[in-house]
Structure 1
């Protein structure tokens, strides 16, 4: 898969991307929001193996030909898909790129027939919640103190869902 919009390219991750994915996933400052403040302790070989799993589509995000983050989507059934995103390079956060990048993926997923897109984030990640809600996602549940991170700290999460009629596309 390859999606292009202006300076942004989203493409299926390959073995060539395993090294940067490993670097990002082992960085606790990047992975903290996902409950891994110490990183996930993976290797390039393990990441290459994960990329072979076709039940989860891993995508790379490039801006002006520079890898800045990654996304994934997991089909739940014929009509529902779960997504995730990380803009890993902090220099590209808080620039409005997340809304456009997510718009690219969301439009593609609706175009290929999905009718419902779901995701979750930590309740403390208000920046992500703002982005999701601006795209039209509707909060469907809050799970208070429902899981522990690597340090044993209780975390809360919030679930979101989006249907085509609520989607606000930021590609202009």
Structure 2
């Protein structure tokens, strides 16, 4: 296992951070596609549609072509919300990381560095929605390069963020995870996060039948 350390983001990290961020989001697309295929409505479209076409036309080739076209359509449908998320982030908070996360003492952006390269990221900012008047922080953009996963880097990044939350006087930390992102769910739960509810983040995610698990962490008092 290669040694690593956690530090704050610097300007020279931008290219590597963008690479980790984008690949970290887009690697979920195959899982999203197979998740979508398992939905009853997808079975209905794939099997019902092609079966009806075969019965109506009697052409197996035409039915197979239609099936291939429907699979491509479902792949693009599953891919859309992830591409949208990346494009939106690159034009908003990730466009200027220093301005978004390092210009206010209540926010921060960290990277994990190993052998001179950035291999992981996480950031924090005040949560948009308060929890019963409590001061809440949101955990965002947690990602680790594929070849460095399983080494405890995600856990170290989260521990750094939780210590920051305590130092800044936050009462709670909130985060969400894709319903099929089991590694992230296990890490959060092992570190004391608890699942508060399940919901669709927006209509885009509802269309592809991908809800999010929402987690909360109660920050211990520093007193």
The structure whose residues are more often strand, as a share, is 1
Structure 1 residues 118 and 68 mapped into 2: Cα distance closer, same or farther (>3 Å)? same
In 2: Cα distance, 1:118 partner to 1:83 partner = 6
Between 74-83 and 153-162, the greater mean CA deviation after superposition: 74-83
Shift of 1:82: 0.5
What pairs with 1:103-142 in structure 2 (closer than 5 Å)?
103-142=159-198
Corresponding residue of 2:19? 23
The alignment's C-alpha RMSD in Å is 3.4
Mapped contact 2:123–2:139 kept (Cα < 8 A): yes
Alignment partner of 1:80 is 2:136: yes
Q: 2:82 aligns with which of 12, 24, 36?
A: 36
Mapped contact 1:83–1:118 kept (Cα < 8 A): yes
Higher-RCO chain (CA-CA 8 Å, sequence separation at least 6)? 2
Q: Could you state the TM-score of these two structures normalised by the residue count of structure 1?
A: 0.72
The structure whose residues are more often helix, as a share, is 2
Residue segments in structure 2 that go unaligned for 5+ positions in a row: 33-80
Give the length in aligned residue pairs.
157
Mapped contact 1:8–1:101 kept (Cα < 8 A): no
Alignment partner of 1:148 is 2:144: no
Structure 1 residues 131 and 97 mapped into 2: Cα distance closer, same or farther (>3 Å)? same
Structure 1 residues 50 and 156 mapped into 2: Cα distance closer, same or farther (>3 Å)? same
Corresponding residue of 1:9? 6
Q: Tell me which structure has the larger Cα radius of gyration.
A: 2
Between 127-136 and 48-57, the greater mean CA deviation after superposition: 48-57
Q: Could you state the TM-score of these two structures normalised by the residue count of structure 2?
A: 0.57
In 2: Cα distance, 1:158 partner to 1:65 partner = 34
Mapped contact 1:30–1:88 kept (Cα < 8 A): no
